[in-house]
Every structure is written in structure tokens, then in C-alpha cells.
Amino acid sequence: MRLLKLRAYLKAAHFGPTLLITAISFVLATTLWWEGPAYVIAFTVFLGQLIIGWSNDLYDYADDLKHNRTNKPLVAGAITPERLRKTTFVFIPIAVVANLIGPLGLKGGSVYLLGVGCGIAYNFYFKFSWLSPLPYAIACAALPGSIFYAVDRTPPLWVLAAGSLLGVAFHFLNVIKDLDQDRSSEIGGLPQRLGKKISLAIAITLAVAVGFIFTQSPVSKDFTSKESQEITNSSSFSVGGDRPAFVTLPTGYSQSVPAPLIIDLHGYSGTSVDQQRFAKMDVAANKRGVIYAGLDGLIDSQGNQFWNASVACCNFNANPVDDAAYIQGLIDEISKKVSVDPKRIYLFGHSNGHFMSYKFACTYPETVAAIAGLAGAMDSAPSNCGATSPVNVLHIHGTNDDVINYDGGQILGNIFTSAQESAKRWASVNQCSLNPSVGTAFDLIASLDGKETIPTIYSCPSASAELWTIEGSSHGPSLDSSFALQVMDWLLAHPKG
């Protein structure tokens, strides 16, 4: 029974158009921002569309009865006008507050609510006027405009124009099916006055105009997040010869000022592009003025990219490739092409890439100032790491990691260290006290509730060793840019001594 009631409320809200507008808002928010706020924006937009749809059915109730439109829930008796009216008045303040205090913000939320107001105004006034296309034009420009304002960008004029024209085209098409009944009910909007043929011709013309606008406008540029635009506008070049890696210089880079360098290493079966999307270290590097290099491992017999990082992970074909030497060679090549600060060279890796960061620090401790990694480990045999000089080390690991277990484990019989043992080994290399202190918990993973990350900090004479334990986190948690920025800030705070 409750499910039927819910279905009736959704149908009264004109569920098809409501869902379409909600989906468009989600796609726009994801493109201009990221998935986190996009879900909230889609929900608040959905609330606004409910108000428009319900107010339309309430106002049209008498006319729908007159024409026996039994597909309407009010006419069919699925819900009563009084119940729908009360529900609408309950949802109006919720929709207003949610849009103003949500990710759209005051400016974006106000612009979207202007569109909602236009939708309601159409129901009560404009549908009887030759100005009936006006609220559609304003509302359908307000939707993309609100999301641009939410990310502190001015909406391009072509976006507003395209939105307006699409809205007006939809208005003409949507009215055609009920044109004769509308006239008998003295609904005299512009389509009713012009007739079916002219209305259809106008809708087609407007759709063609929108297509022309899209072909003549910088769509890919304008529908790119601000962070991604900053990356795109910076300079890039390739190194590595027949095993290439792409290097990105941060915005504002100057050859006269040596900049830090970070090497980003993907996990097993991943790629450099996957790693960028996952960890977002490229975005953090650009924000902090760091040269960024995303590397790719070789491909094994299973078609998966890997790093020859340790006995345990993940060179399953016993490929003799020396990935540590490969990374060192890239650092040398990058340093010859651009101005790299030799005291601020860093590595970050996830999973197999984290294993690789340890391998590099063990092999070339004199090169790297600090390494940080998520969900990796080291081989159990201490003899596999020959580092004798200190390296700043940050180990990050989730307690619910079922791939590279927090407490250690094995892969095909090859044992790897626990998160605590990994940090302790480097504390020993760095001549730290082996009685670490536990710091104050903080929020590292936005997708997890509360302050889920507990730092374990070793007291060291020079280079640092830390373990960040993420309570309840998996092997590949959902990360946002705040994770990358916190890790990047830790690395930058630990240059070579």
C-alpha cells in the first residue's frame, strides 16, 4: 500500500521529466565538480522538481477531471488533492533550505530556486499567456547556471543560451499532445495560439539551433572541472624513450626556481591514468607547485601492469626488469629537462605501487627525500632492503584491507610485513626511538564518518617514520582531493636533510 502511495506521489510529480532534470544535474555536477557533491546536488534538484510537478497537478486537477485524465493520480483517486497539497507545503521549505545550504551554496541555490519559481509561475499564470515559453527559458538556463556558480565559475553564455533554447523546445513539444484539450479549457499559451504545425516547426528549429551552438562552442573546455583545467593549462612532456612517462609542470612553474618532484605509482593491474583518478595526486601536485610524473609498469602474461617491487608483490612471471633503476633513470632525465629540487624528490604508491616505493627507497635512499604509500608492504626478509641512509616514510593502511592485510600476510606463499612492522623497520633505519607515540585522530578519508585515521609517530633524530591507520578502511577506499593534499603536505614538510 505504501509503495503504491509513493508511486502515486512520484507520478504526480511528472516523474519522467523530474528524473531527466535530476540526471542532467548529476552529470553536470560530476563533470564540473566530483561525485560526492553531485549526489547531494541531484537530490536537492529533485526536491525542487517535486514542487513544480505537484503544484502543476494541483492546479490542473479540475481540468484533468473535466477531460477524464485517469492517468493522473489525483483523477484516479490514488491520492487526494488535500493530501498532495499538505505534502507540497511540507516539502517547499525543505527544498528551499536544502538548496541554499547544500553544495549549490547561496548563489547557486538561489539561481536554481529562481528556476523552480519560474516552473511554479508557469503553472499558475504563464500557461495562459503568449509569454508561456519565458519560464521554460529561464528555468532551463538556471539549472546549469546554478552548478557553474556552485563551483565559483561564471556560466558561459553559450551554456545559458543552449539551456534556454532546449527548455523552450521542450515546452512546444510537450504541449502539442494536449493542444486541443488545452484550447477547450481556455489555456492560451504561445503553442496553443500558434497551433501544432508551427509549434512542431519551432521545436525542431530550436533543437537544430542548439546543435549548432554545441558545434561552435568550447564544450570540452567549459565542461571540465576547475582543477582539471589547471592541469590542462600547465605544460607537459614525455620522458623514458620506448617506455614513456608523462610529466606535468605545475601552473606558475619557473625554470629559475627549482620545484619538488613526485613520482606516482599505480597498483597491480592499474595504469597511470587509473592512479590519477584514484589518488588525485596530480591535482594536489598542481596546487602545491610540484612537478608530477605518473608512471606505468610493464604488462605481465595476464595483461596486467605490475611493478617488480618485491618477492611477494607482484612480479608473478619472474620478469628480470629493474623498476627501481627505471625510476631512477626517469628522475635523472626529468632533472635534466626541468629545474628539480634534489632535496624534494618524493614517491607515492598504492598497493603494488606502495611496495615499489619501498623498493626504491631501499635501493636509492640517497635520491628520495620521502615516500608515502597506501595499502602496501615490504618483504618479510630484512635482507631484501639494503638502505643504510635515512628516508622519511609515511605508511597509510586501512584496518579492513582484505588484499594486503593490515596485520601482514602472504601472496602465493611469499610473506609480506604488517603495516606496523613496515613503519618500524624504517624507524630502525632512521635511528628513531622504537617506542612511538599515538597522535590525535583526524579525518583523512572523506567517505568515512568521523576522524577515522590514527597516526603513530616515531621520534627520530632526522628523517621521520609514521603510520597512519585508517579504521574501517578497505584496500581501495574512495578518495577525494583532501586525501591527496594531506599526503602531499606531509611529503613537502619532509625534505632531504
Domains and CATH numbers, the chain: 2-216 (no CATH), 226-492 (3.40.50.1820)
For residue 472, give Cα distances in angstroms to 353, 449, 451.
22, 10, 11
Residue 232 has pLDDT above 70, yes or no: no
* DSSP-derived secondary structure for 444-479: --TTSSS--EEEEE---SSS-EEEEEETT--SS---
| 243 within 8 A of 278, measured Cβ to Cβ | no
Instruction: Tell me what pLDDT residue 57 has.
Output: 92
- Quickly state the pLDDT bin for 36 (edges 50, 70, 90): confident
For residue 386, give Cα distances in angstroms to 37, 312, 348, 390, 469.
46, 17, 20, 11, 26
DSSP state of 312: T
Q: Which has more pLDDT, 386 or 454?
A: 454
Rounded to the nearest 10°, the torsion over CA 140, 19, 207, 196 is: -100
Q: Of all residues in the chain, what percent carry a pLDDT higher than 70?
A: 97
Query: What's the average model confidence in pLDDT over 274-292?
Result: 96
Query: What's the average model confidence in pLDDT over 329-346?
Result: 96
Instruction: Tell me what pLDDT residue 186 has.
Output: 83
Query: What's the average model confidence in pLDDT over 213-232?
Result: 77
- Quickly state the pLDDT bin for 280 (edges 50, 70, 90): very high
Of 18, 84, 27, which Cα lies nearest the Cα of 52? 18
Q: Which has more pLDDT, 467 or 480?
A: 467
Instruction: Tell me what pLDDT residue 33 has.
Output: 80
Terminal Cα distance for the chain, rounded? 70
**DSSP element (H, E) containing 305:** strand 305-306
pTM of the model: 0.61
Instruction: Tell me what pLDDT residue 55 has.
Output: 94
Query: What's the average model confidence in pLDDT over 70-87?
Result: 91
Q: Tell me how crowded residue 274 is: count the other CB atoms within 10 A of its CB.
A: 16
* DSSP-derived secondary structure for 105-162: HHHHHHHHHHHHHHHHHHHHTGGGSTTTHHHHHHHHHHHHHHHHHHTT-PPPHHHHHH
Instruction: Tell me what pLDDT residue 477 has.
Output: 94
Place of cell 529562481: 114
Rounded to the nearest 10°, the torsion over CA 191, 192, 194, 195 is: 100
Of 369, 352, 364, 328, which Cα lies nearest the Cα of 490? 369
Angle between helices 481-492 and 281-288 (to 10 degrees): 50
Residue 229 has pLDDT above 70, yes or no: no
And the C-alpha cell for 315?
A: 612480479
* Arithmetic mean of pLDDT over the chain: 93
14: left (phi over 0), alpha (psi -120 to 50) or beta: left
Q: Which has more pLDDT, 268 or 31?
A: 268
Query: What's the average model confidence in pLDDT over 327-331?
Result: 98
| 400 within 8 A of 472, measured Cβ to Cβ | yes
Instruction: Tell me what pLDDT residue 290 has.
Output: 98
pLDDT tens readout for residues 384-409 = 898 889 999 999 999 999 999 999 99
Instruction: Tell me what pLDDT residue 139 has.
Output: 95
Of 67, 182, 51, 169, which Cα lies nearest the Cα of 127? 182
Instruction: Tell me what pLDDT residue 497 has.
Output: 83
- Quickly state the pLDDT bin for 231 (edges 50, 70, 90): low
**DSSP element (H, E) containing 492:** helix 481-492
